[in-house]
């Protein structure tokens, strides 16, 4: 495993700047990988699936450290608004969820009261113990075959819009195969 400083440099490059969220995300992912005994996520890239629970700076850092990408199907996003990630070792079936403690912000203020919030958090998050920053919990995660990296499955066509649907994401409505958008789960609506 790389050092904290090495991961922070990589994370800064990927994210565009270094911020407290990046430091927290790097530390969170390093802890998750250590707990699973994964030393080199690059060499073992198909061994790990990571679920992140927020779409903020932390997630970019987690993706860098865990070597998980959406495009490789190894990073899964659950929009729960929590600074947390679950690391699933596909080889052993073990999974650990690591969540930032709400008290970590106060700990950073107490540790560096003379610094502005951002600078103080960056420094504190790099130095505080894992126990001061995170809660961890061993969990069970069932990753269905269609969610695994490298899954190749049938592609079906939506009976309404004609678009292709991968990875068993279609739904059946009144005997018709539909994409989720045509079935009413749209996050968008057609412009008139």
pTM confidence score: 0.89
What is the rounded distance in angstroms from the CA atom of residue 158 to the CA atom of residue 170?
8
In the chain, where the domains are located:
4-145, 153-185
The whole-number pLDDT of residue 120 equals 96
Mean pLDDT, 10 residues at a time, over the chain (192 residues)? 96 96 97 97 92 97 96 95 97 97 95 96 97 98 91 91 93 96 90 87
Q: Which of 168, 188, 189 is nearest to 179 (CA)?
A: 168
Q: In CATH terms, are 4-145 and 153-185 the same topology?
A: no
Q: 1.10.287, 3.30.40, 1.10.3470, 3.30.60: which CATH number matches 153-185?
A: 3.30.60
Beta bridge partners of 51: 76, 86
The whole-number pLDDT of residue 146 equals 87
The predicted-structure confidence for 6-61, as pLDDT tens digits, reads as follows 999 999 999 999 999 999 999 999 999 999 999 999 988 889 999 999 999 999 99
The whole-number pLDDT of residue 152 equals 84
What is the rounded distance in angstroms from the CA atom of residue 4 to the CA atom of residue 26?
7
The whole-number pLDDT of residue 162 equals 95
What is the length of the chain? 192
* Location of structure tokens 């103080």: 120
As its CATH architecture, domain 4-145 has 2-Layer Sandwich (3.30)
47 C-beta neighbours (distance < 10 Å), count: 18
C-alpha angle 51/8/106, rounded to 5°? Answer: 75
79 C-beta neighbours (distance < 10 Å), count: 9
40 φψ region: left (φ > 0), alpha (ψ -120 to 50), beta (else): beta
CB within 8 A of 73, min separation 6: which ones?
A: 147, 148, 149, 150, 151
What is the rounded distance in angstroms from the CA atom of residue 56 to the CA atom of residue 146?
26
């Amino acid at each position: 495993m790389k050092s904290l400083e090495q991961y922070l440099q990589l994370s800064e490059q990927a994210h565009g700047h270094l911020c407290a969220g990046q430091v927290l995300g790097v530390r969170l992912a390093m802890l998750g990988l250590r707990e699973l005994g994964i030393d080199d996520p690059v060499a073992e890239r198909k061994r790990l699936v990571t679920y992140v629970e927020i779409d903020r700076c932390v997630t970019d850092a987690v993706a860098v450290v865990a070597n998980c990408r959406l495009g490789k199907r190894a990073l899964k996003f659950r929009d729960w608004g929590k600074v947390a990630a679950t690391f699933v070792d596909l080889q052993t079936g073990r999974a650990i969820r690591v969540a930032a403690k709400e008290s970590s912000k106060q700990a950073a203020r107490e540790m560096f009261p003379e610094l502005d919030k951002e600078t103080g958090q960056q420094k504190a998050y790099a130095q505080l113990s894992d126990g001061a920053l995170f809660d961890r919990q061993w969990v069970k995660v069932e990753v269905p075959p269609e969610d695994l990296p490298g899954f190749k499955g049938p592609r079906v066509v939506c009976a309404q819009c004609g678009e292709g649907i991968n990875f068993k994401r279609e739904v059946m409505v009144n005997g018709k195969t539909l994409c989720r958008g045509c079935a009413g789960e749209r996050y968008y609506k057609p412009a008139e």
